[in-house]
């Protein structure tokens, strides 16, 4: 299996499929891009802190108490994926940053108070999603070359900053924090495979299973249908079997290659997440105790 070919092929396929949407979105986002600018002012905010990057995988549920304990701690920077924001807010967790690269209209921010939050937004993010955001914003481009993409980046502004992407939004968050001289990195809810559940409780996607359920098709069956449709590969971890698809598998390989050259300690509380050879596996509370945050559990 050619790992490099898998994740580079996935990236190119995703980008090519959305090329028209990217151009349209970028043009409509220009006024906001000019108003808020890029990642330059974010770097000093993240540098020198412990970074916790939070996804919306099912294992997020078990980490919420630890995230509640460290939210607001000046030594820790919480960066949440767009889909993870709703369950985090419901648990009283305020992330330092939220990151989104969603180019299609998706109600991740609908009905959520975002005025006190800072969004890290792909320059070609859906303007519909951007309109739901009330707080600060910093835009960025993708580190992808090619005539079409380079034209996009020139339109958006090459001074925004460029971020590597490994086919999932958390790869972009990790790229940002590892470029900011953080003390350590913990991945939370970055499961990259699934067992009995596909998403964390309280996410928009999980709510959709409940909203569209019937007596014949309960939420659990609907969610299992999504899992079954995405069972391209099997992963065995500590005797348990998980399944994944091309996108998540390519992202896992991307993370593991990146972590080989990381100059800071990498930890992972996700289940199954990346390989134990790529990051030290421990629970969120154990990580907080390890770095000396009082109240970790």
Q: Within a domain: residue 82? A: yes
pLDDT tens digits for range 219-232? 565 666 666 777 77
- What pLDDT, on a 0 to 100 scale, did the predictor assign at position 297? 42
Q: Is the peptide bond before 280 cis (omega within 30 degrees of 0)?
A: no
Residue 262 maps to which CATH number?
3.90.1480
pLDDT tens digits for range 30-78? 999 999 999 999 999 999 999 999 999 999 999 999 999 999 999 999 9
- SS3 for 205-217 is HHHHHHHCCCCCC
Q: Within a domain: residue 233? A: no
Residues 141 and 152 sit within 8 Å (Cβ to Cβ): yes
- What pLDDT, on a 0 to 100 scale, did the predictor assign at position 167? 85
Q: How far apart are CA 290 and CA 269, in angstroms?
A: 13
Q: Within a domain: residue 129? A: yes
Q: Within a domain: residue 150? A: yes
- What pLDDT, on a 0 to 100 scale, did the predictor assign at position 234? 85
Q: Within a domain: residue 296? A: no
Domain count, the chain: 1
Which residues neighbour 33 within 8 Å (Cβ) at sequence distance 6 or greater? 123, 139, 156, 157, 160
Q: Within a domain: residue 205? A: no
CA 219 to chain centroid, in Å, comes to: 24
Low-confidence spans in the chain with pLDDT less than 50: 296-297
């Amino acid at each position: 299996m050619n790992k490099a070919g898998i994740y580079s092929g996935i990236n190119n396929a995703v980008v090519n499929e959305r090329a028209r949407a990217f151009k349209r979105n970028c043009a409509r986002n220009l006024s906001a891009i000019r108003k808020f600018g890029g990642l330059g002012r974010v770097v000093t905010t993240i540098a020198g802190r412990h970074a916790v990057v939070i996804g919306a995988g099912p294992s997020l549920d078990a980490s919420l108490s630890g995230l509640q304990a460290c939210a607001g701690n000046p030594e820790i920077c919480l960066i949440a994926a767009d889909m993870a924001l709703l369950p985090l807010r419901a648990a009283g967790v305020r992330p330092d940053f939220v990151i989104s690269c969603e180019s299609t209209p998706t109600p991740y921010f609908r009905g959520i108070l975002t005025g006190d939050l800072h969004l890290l937004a792909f320059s070609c993010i859906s303007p519909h999603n951007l309109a739901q955001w009330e707080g600060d914003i910093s835009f960025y481009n993708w580190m992808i070359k090619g005539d079409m993409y380079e034209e996009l980046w020139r339109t958006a502004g090459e001074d925004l900053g460029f971020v590597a992407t490994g086919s999932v939004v958390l790869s972009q968050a990790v790229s940002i924090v590892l470029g900011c001289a953080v003390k350590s990195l913990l991945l939370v809810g970055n499961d990259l495979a699934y067992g009995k559940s596909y998403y964390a409780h309280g996410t928009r996607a999980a709510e959709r299973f409940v909203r569209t359920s019937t007596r014949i098709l309960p939420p659990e069956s609907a969610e299992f249908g999504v899992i079954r449709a995405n069972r391209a590969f099997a992963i065995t971890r500590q005797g348990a079997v998980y399944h994944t698809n091309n996108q998540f598998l390519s992202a896992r390989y991307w993370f593991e290659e990146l972590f080989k050259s990381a100059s800071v300690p990498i930890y992972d509380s996700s289940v199954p997440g990346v390989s134990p050879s790529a990051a030290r596996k421990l629970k969120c509370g154990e990580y907080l105790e390890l770095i000396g945050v009082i109240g970790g559990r």
